[in-house]
Structure 1
């Protein structure tokens, strides 16, 4: 029988916990196998506009296979703090800060080592965390997000859009400050979330295009999404109502701060991730297109590849296929033999 996804509002398999990490409060979903014994700890890092519940189909698999699971809300999302910028520095929404906070949270829960998985922004975070904290992370996997090594040259989002990645045009809009002017109450947040997860209007109207970003005029007419609806949509709306959308968009404003901090990685010649890695490509991802991952082998000597026929929302669109790839990879690493008892 397929494992049932976590219901973050009321599910006995996970706890909602909060911890003070490097001066800010983080909310996270925390779960242990039913036996209370676990062989390793897996951290799952979400992207935008997700939250920790974005991993709701993967958490049950990992618990059932004997792992302890921690799925935090990133800075600015859900129950985690959302410090304002300014007066705070934008680097609070950067890769190094996220990496340091993952390490801090691991220490709080007593994990000397962790397996780290990510999707979307979370995928970018976990690759960087493997560079910043190699002593902590034993294995790392990413769904949809390829590894791009640190660079000594700064390339702005504008230059990426004009050059190799025109599909990143939406990132310019999200960073501009215009989005939160229109998506600023419960109803507009609800329509925005419906649309981002695939809800369409009566004439096929869409909420977002990669090149242009959010199509505000279409939001009022959008119908339900197959991937995010009912109680789960209500939960996401509730989580977004805590801080609004502005703080989550700070992740699109931190590119230069990330580059500045990563010059230290360049100086230390830290580009190679030698630990076992897994990359799961979504073949129909129009944002993180398959060709973006073509050079990863040169930086990852222990890379395993998998792919699913899915859009950017592979975690929830094709959860059985994604889980099967993760499960096979973990078992290939000598981890995660399925327990005899079922949850």
Structure 2
């Protein structure tokens, strides 16, 4: 479906001095869409109109550090607890009469998994796109195969160098990653890429977004993840199997930790499954939310 931006409302909310931008559309049960790295609310351009047409109210934020949201300084500002608290603040500020469905892709998926553990009262259903449960990711880091796929996470621990590499030649590395990742020709148009470049060009944006990875490896940051609590709400994991960053073996969460999960694999989709195979993703999403 085509996104009609004239039907979107651009809004801001604030938590602990950090202003968060989000787009909102539709009426009905609340669905919150959390984008990944290095993206923005616009990554959900195919899902927003489908959800609105199906009778849902959609909120799609720019995660802190991204696009029009504030970019607080310091690695600690991007600790997982700060990110999940932002999601809680968005839901509470929405005035929704019931708990929300939360949908997360990539880093947004990581935030969504942790949000489900920390704020179960605010969550009705959970949808994850190409992001392993935190415990599965930790297990993956113990294998040479996943470590090779995750090389960039360790490169991002360097100070300043990743930012310099990423912005070289008008963000060529990031543009090529988004352009070449999808299996579907034309999944990422030049006009789409221009939206991402504008987001990366915001002052402080590159450092802020890379700080997600730096915060992830800070001492103590994985303490809660190593002993995760159960997620009892219904969970749908959608997994594009041509994922160059995450092994397909990471898709299914431990049933003892996530007893009500279903995994839907899409063989001809990449890591960016939400715009690579949007019709299939929308079908799965709407069937699950009904």
Deviates more, 1:161-170 or 1:57-66: 161-170
CA contact (8 A) 1:160 1:166 kept: no
Relative to structure 1, is the Cα distance of residues 105 and 70 closer, same or farther in structure 2, using a 3 angstrom cutoff? same
3-state DSSP class of the match of 1:184? helix
Partner of 2:247: 289
Gaps of 5+ in 2: none
TM-score by length of structure 2 reads: 0.88
Alignment match of 1:242 (pick from 190, 194, 202): 202
Distance in 2, matches of 1:284 and 1:164, equals: 14
Question: Could you tell me how far apart the structure 1 residues matched to 2:49 and 2:41 are?
Answer: 13
Structure 1 spans left out of the alignment, 5+ residues? 201-224, 332-343
Q: Does 1:325 align with 2:256?
A: no
Q: Partner of 1:180 in structure 2?
A: 163
Q: Report the equivalent of 1:121.
A: 107
Matched length: 283
CA RMSD of aligned residues (A): 2.6
Report the alpha carbon displacement of residue 294 of structure 1 after superposing the two structures with TM. 4.1
> Of 12, 18, 22, which aligns to 2:12?
18
Is 1:192 the equivalent of 2:173? yes
Q: Per-residue deviation at 1:261?
A: 5.2
- Contact 2:67–2:200 at 8 Å: present in 1 too? yes
- Which residue of structure 1 lines up, in the alignment, with residue 76 of structure 2? 91
Equivalent-residue separation in structure 1 for 2:55 and 2:23 (angstroms): 16
Q: Does 1:303 align with 2:286?
A: no
Task: State how far apart, in whole Å, the 2-side matches of 1:317 and 1:261 are.
Answer: 32
Contact 2:80 2:216 in 1 (8 A): no
Give, in angstroms, the shift of residue 304 of structure 1: 1.5
Q: What do the CA deviations read for 1:47-99 (whole angstroms, capped 9, x no partner)?
A: 001111111111111111111100111111100111122xxxx2321221111
TM-superposed CA distance for 1:270, in Å, is: 4.6
Q: Could you report, residue by residue, the CA deviation over 1:237-290 in whole angstroms, capped at 9, with x for unpaired residues?
A: 112111342211011101244x72564577xx6521011101011111121211
State the Cα distance separating 1:160 from its structure 2 match: 4.5
- Whose helix proportion is higher, 1 or 2? 2
Tell which structure's C-alpha radius of gyration is larger: 1
Q: Deviations over 1:301-334 (max 9, x none)?
A: 1112211121111111110111111111122xxx
Question: 1 CA distance for matches of 2:237 and 2:206?
Answer: 29
